[in-house]
């Protein structure tokens, strides 16, 4: 296998492995009532005062309409709350409940472990190369998404 084929093979398998492993790691007994996608919505909501549906949808690269069904389920299951703005009643803010914040931290812990596992195996002079590579990959995905 040449270098190009090896890199392609690693990238394809890496994305699949991360998705599968992340789901196994974060959808534990405590969080069996939600999906991996729900966990990413919780991540997009984040901690703090709350965000609008459109802000969450933008962060996830989906429409607010697409997000609505999942958000309804997260509210119903006690992970998120809807709160109308006092200044403009048409605006609805979504925030996490205590249960949602626990799920957020649980998911963030997995990401921290994954990042730490990569960084601890690198020499100091290898980090800039990894950063350059990951940034190039990120730019590719952002540009590719915009072309669709």
Residue 7 predicted with pLDDT over 80: yes
Residues contacting residue 61 through CB under 8 Å, at least 6 positions apart = 145
Residue 19 predicted with pLDDT over 90: no
Nearest to 53 by CA among 98, 85, 86, 5: 85
Cβ-contact 31, 50 below 8 angstroms: no
List, for residues 127-146, the tens digit of each pLDDT value: 999 999 999 998 988 888 66
Q: Which residues of 45-59 are buried (b: 16+ CB within 10 A; e: fewer)?
A: bbeeebbebebbbee
Residue 146 pLDDT = 66
Residue 113 pLDDT = 93
Residue 148 predicted with pLDDT over 70: no
Nearest to 44 by CA among 22, 5, 70, 18: 70
Domain that holds residue 38: 3-147
Looking up residue 42, the CATH number of its domain turns out to be 1.10.10.10
pTM equals: 0.84
Residue 145 pLDDT = 64
pLDDT band at 147 (very low <50, low <70, confident <90, very high): low
DSSP character for 80? E
List, for residues 49-107, the tens digit of each pLDDT value: 899 999 999 999 898 888 999 999 999 999 999 998 888 888 889 999 999 999 999 99
User: Into how many domains does the chain fold?
Assistant: 1
């Amino acid at each position: 296998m040449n270098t190009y084929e090896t890199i392609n093979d690693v990238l394809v398998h890496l994305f699949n492995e991360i998705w599968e492993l992340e789901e196994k790691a974060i959808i534990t007994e405590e969080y069996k009532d939600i999906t991996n996608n729900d966990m990413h919505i919780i991540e997009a909501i984040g901690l703090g005062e709350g965000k609008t549906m459109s802000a969450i949808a933008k962060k996830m690269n989906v429409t607010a309409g697409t997000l609505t069904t999942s958000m309804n389920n997260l509210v119903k299951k006690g992970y998120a709350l809807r709160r109308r703005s006092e200044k403009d009643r048409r605006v609805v803010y979504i925030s996490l409940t205590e249960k949602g914040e626990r799920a957020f931290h649980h998911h963030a812990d997995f990401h921290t472990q994954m990042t730490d596992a990569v960084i601890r195996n690198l020499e100091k002079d290898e980090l800039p190369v990894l950063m350059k590579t990951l940034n190039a990959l990120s730019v590719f995905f952002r540009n590719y998404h915009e072309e669709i």
